[in-house]
Amino acid sequence: MEAPSPPITPYILLSLLLLQKLSGSALQQYTLQAQQDFLTPSQIDAGIRELSHQGLVTLSEADAAGEPVYAITPRGENVLQRWLVRMPVADDGATPVPLGHIPGGHLVPPHTLITLLEAHQRQCREALATCEAEVNALPLALTGTGADERTQFPSLVLQLRIAELRADLAWAEQGLGRLRPRDQAQGSV
């Protein structure tokens, strides 16, 4: 028996079809490339059938291999945009999809993205503080030049995570720097 589709499956499929018309196998390739590979081919097929039944996607044509190609309808675009505007965000800033993989993110209002980025910053700062404390707590024997390869690995893993978190914080700060003026301009109109 096939596992049920995650509740965001329709929105992932709609967002991919917003970019271009795609076949079922092309949708599968995109989900694999976007590290959204929790969608199986049968879940994608079932999702497309349901979206088609609801009038949110339509059969556009067949590709060179004869596979049906689907396109998002204007109604599908409206449904996706409404979901993005009201996308659930937990108190800790968690969203149903990772912040950098928000489907159709260009449709999300600036104030929503600002809220998500600020929550992401808080999460990164907390995780960074934890990682830095763990590095500082490691005995010198694990981090110094005299440590053997086996004992240096925990330190290297933490240093990698610290670098990733610092990059995430810089990315979020840059995004906020671009979004806040746009949001303020829209608010003053």
Rounded to whole angstroms, the Cα distance separating 112 from 82 reads 12
116 band by pLDDT with thresholds 50, 70 and 90: confident
Overall average pLDDT of the 10-29 stretch: 85
DSSP string covering 99-149, please? GGG-TTGGGS-HHHHHHHHHHHHHHHHHHHHHHHHHHHHS-HHHHSTTS-H
pLDDT given at position 156: 82
Find the radius of gyration of the CA atoms of the chain: 21
Rounded to two decimals, what is the model's pTM? 0.57
* Res 55 pLDDT > 70: yes
pLDDT given at position 8: 75
pLDDT given at position 188: 55
**Residues facing 71 on adjacent strands:** 58
Please name the residues in contact with 136: beta carbons below 8 A apart, sequence gap of 6 or more. Answer: none
Rounded to whole angstroms, the Cα distance separating 26 from 154 reads 39
How far lies 14's CA from each of 19, 48, 170, in Å?
Answer: 9, 9, 30
% pLDDT > 90, the chain: 21
* Res 68 pLDDT > 70: yes
Strand segments, DSSP code E, in 17-67 are 22-23, 57-62
pLDDT given at position 100: 60
Rounded to whole angstroms, the Cα distance separating 10 from 14 reads 6
Overall average pLDDT of the 58-63 stretch: 84
Helix or strand or coil: residue 88?
Answer: coil
